[in-house]
Amino acid sequence: MSTETFAGGKVWFVGAGPGDPELITVKGRRLVESADAILYAGSLVSEAALRWAKAGCTIADSKDMTLEQIGEWLIREARRNPIVVRLQTGDPSLYGALIEMVRPLDEAGVEVGVVPGVSSAMASAAAAVESLTLPEVTQTVILTRVEGRTPMPEGESLRELARHRCTLCLFLSITLLREVRQTLLDAGWSDEAPVLVVHKASWPGEEKIVRGTLADIRERCKAERITSQAMIIVSPALGARQWPAIRRSKLYDAGFSHRFRHADKTA
Ligand code: SAH
């Protein structure tokens, strides 16, 4: 390609999925395969990058880079390559510093695209064969975190969110299980409330699924030596697979009409 006619490439933020290289989307994989430069986020997504990148692709790990260096790298590569991929864990819109990375690209006039990914929240539910919503139990999922170095905005403390008694998926919080327990107790949950922790959800051979209650989940995770890369799910719907009876979803109810099926009036 002659440099005179090349107007600059596009930077694609691609969700690599939760760990299993097969959980990247078809579109994400196609972009990885055709990329001239790939910047990946640490060990979590290196496998997909290395597996599908074409020969001669420039590949770098961002784990020791600052945000400024990431921006510079992406801008530099986009100035000389048509397709540049920034591989992110899970979905790029969740706790992935997406906007912080996009703004310098906007300022530099570099085109940006985003390909969604399977979030670890979804992969964790899948690993444990759990549904995050259940008819007449909970119809709401909150994706949040416990306050750490990043302060929580007003109205979003776990205590306030937990009052909804819906499904809570807690990112970045596995070292804070003591706080999680106390906060949920303060918000009216019981110590018997079921809790699911999934470590390295979907990672072949490395995934760990730990089930417990608010009272004992911390000890159970300690016993399994889980201190990072884990999703905490607290939900009144957990374990429904084993309940003696559940309310059935209206969608499959014979007496319920929808766009694709008319109700059986006798049901
Ligand atoms: N964008 C990512 C989240 C990045 S924040 C996503 O959509 O999944 C990093 C946090 O995500 C970790 O602290 C952990 O809570 C969770 N996480 C990422 N990958 C995980 C995995 N494979 N299994 C369990 N939790 C994971």
Confidence class for position 36, pLDDT limits 50, 70, 90: very high
Confidence band of 42 (pLDDT split at 50, 70, 90): confident
Stronger pLDDT, 1 or 226, i.e. the higher one: 226
Position 263 scores a pLDDT of: 65
Predicted local distance difference test score (pLDDT) of residue 129 = 98
Ligand 1 centroid distance, CA of 231 (Å) = 7
Q: How far apart are the first and last CA of the chain?
A: 66
261 pLDDT band (50/70/90 cuts)? low
Question: Which CA distances in Å does 123 have to 20, 126, 164, 197, 202?
Answer: 10, 5, 23, 12, 6
Mutate to test the pocket of ligand 1, among 93, 171, 176, 234 (most ligand atoms within 8 A of CB): 171
Residues forming a β-bridge with 233:
169, 196
At residue 51 the predicted structure's pLDDT band, cuts being 50, 70 and 90, is: confident
Query: C-alpha 127: how far from its chain's center?
Result: 13
The domain defined by 10-115 carries CATH number 3.40.1010.10: yes
Instruction: Give CATH superfamily name and number for 120-242.
Output: Tetrapyrrole methylase, C-terminal domain (3.30.950.10)
Q: What is the pLDDT of residue 262?
A: 67
**How far is residue 178's CA from residue 187's CA, in Å, rounded to a whole number?**
14
User: According to the model, what pLDDT value does residue 260 have?
Assistant: 67
pLDDT over 90 (residue 117): yes
Is ligand 1 within 6 A of the CB of residue 18?
yes
CA proximity to 214, closest of 239, 241, 233, 240:
233
67-78 residue pLDDT tens = 999 999 999 999
Mean pLDDT (whole number) for 21-50: 87
What six digits make up the tokens of 237? Answer: 């719907």
Domain boundaries, the chain: 10-115, 120-242
Q: Quick check: 231 pLDDT over 80?
A: yes
Residue 257 has pLDDT above 70, yes or no: no
**Predicted local distance difference test score (pLDDT) of residue 266:** 59
Which residue's C-alpha comes closest to atom 11 of ligand 1? 171
The CA R_g of the chain, rounded to the nearest whole Å, is 22
Q: What is the mean pLDDT of residues 190-207?
A: 96
| Portion of the chain with pLDDT greater than 90, in percent | 81
Residue 150, pLDDT score:
84
DSSP string, 12-71: EEEE-BSS-GGGS-HHHHHHHHH-SEEEE-SGGGHHHHHHHPPTT-EEEE-TT--HHHHH
pLDDT digits (tens, 9 = 90+) for 237-256: 999 999 988 877 766 666 66
pLDDT of residue 84: 98
- With a 6 Å cutoff on the Cβ, whether 21 touches ligand 1 is no
